[in-house]
Amino acid sequence: MMEQPLRKSFFNDPMFPFEMVYRDRKSPQHELPEHLHDRYELVYIYEGRGTFLLNHNFYDMSEGDLFVIPGNTIHRAFPDTEVPVLSTALFFSPSLVRIPSLGDTHFILSSFEWARKRRKYKVNIPEALRGTFMSIIEQIKMELEDRKSGYKHAICLQLQFLLLQLNRLMSQVQSETEDPVHSVPQWMQSLLLFIDLHHTENDLCLTTLSKRASVSTSHLSRAFKQYTGISVIDYVNAKRIANTKEMLLTSDSSLEIIAQKCGFESLSHFHRLFKLLTGVTPGAYRRGNQLFKG
C-alpha cells in the first residue's frame, strides 16, 4: 500500500493565497510526514533543535535559521524531542507577490530561484537582522488578526518587504555552503543526490539503487524509511510528480510526452499516480493553474 503524502488544504480564499502558522511548537508526534505542495514556503526558527529534510539534503535547525522552500519541493521536519523547535511558517502563491519590474533587474522571488538552482534551502539570519525579520512576521500576524480595511494589501506589502530583505541577504552568501547533518550516512546523502539527478530514468528501482549504494535492498528500505520517513519508491514517485507538475505549467507538451520524460512506464500509470498524490487529474491540474502562468 503506497504511503500517500499528506495533502493539506491551502487558501480557502482563491483571491488571497496566503496562510500563516505562527510560533508553532513542533513535536515529532504531530509533525507532517514527508510532503510537497505547490505553494512557496518560508520557515523561521525562533528556538529549539531538529533536522530538516529538504530535497536530498538534511539540515540542522537552530535559532535564527530561515528555510526557503520553493513550490513542489519534497520536505519534512524532524523536531528534537527534548528541545523542540518553535517556528513560524508562511505559505503563499507566487502570484501574490508579483510586482512590475520597475526598470531594474530585481526579481522578488530570486531567493527561491537561488535556493532551487543551488539546492541550498537554509540561511542563518545574522543577529543584527533577526529583529527586522521577526518584526515583519509580527506585523503580518497583527494584520491577520485585526483584519482592518486593506489588511490583505498590507500583508502583501509586508511579505514583499521580507522577501526583499531576504534577497539582499542571500546575495551576500551565495558562495557559502551548508553542511548536511553529520549523523546521516554519507552513502545515504549520495544516494539522495543521485535520485535527485536521475529520478526521470524509468529503470530507477530499489534493486538499481541498492547496487548503487552497495547495500542490500532490505537494508536500503529500512535505512531510507528511517532517515526520510518514506519508502524509496514513494520518494522517487514524489520527485517525478513534482517534475510533471512543473512541466504541465511551463510547457505545451502532451501528457504522454511529459509522462515519458519524467520516467513513468505508461500514461495510465502516470495518470493514476498523479491523481493519487494530488487529488486531481493531470489535465485538471494544468487547466486549473493557468491563472498562475506567465
The predicted-structure confidence for 60-100, as pLDDT tens digits, reads as follows: 999 999 999 998 888 888 888 889 999 999 999 887 887 76
> 293 pLDDT band (50/70/90 cuts)?
very low
Residue 117 pLDDT more than 90?
no
Lowest-pLDDT choice from 34-38, 171-175, 195-199: 171-175
Return the CATH number of the domain spanning residue range 186-292.
Answer: 1.10.10.60
User: Nearest 5°: phi and psi at 97?
Assistant: -115, 10
The predicted-structure confidence for 257-283, as pLDDT tens digits, reads as follows: 999 999 998 999 999 988 887 888 999
What pLDDT score does 235 carry?
A: 83
Going from N- to C-terminal start, the domains of the chain cover: 18-172, 186-292
Give 125-130's long-range contacts (Cβ < 8 A, gap of 24+): 125/44, 125/64, 125/65, 125/66, 125/169, 126/64, 126/169, 127/64, 129/165, 129/169, 130/64
Dist CA 37 CA 8 (whole Å): 8
Residue that is written with C-alpha cell 549520495 in the block: 190
Residue 153 pLDDT more than 90?
yes
What pLDDT score does 167 carry?
A: 92
Q: Which of 30-44, 162-176, 241-255, 280-294 has the highest mean pLDDT?
A: 241-255
What pLDDT score does 16 carry?
A: 85
User: Nearest 5°: phi and psi at 131?
Assistant: -60, -40
- The topology under which CATH files domain 18-172 is Jelly Rolls (2.60.120)
What pLDDT score does 44 carry?
A: 97
The C-alpha angle 13, 76, 221, rounded to 5 degrees, equals 135
38: amino acid identity, one letter = D
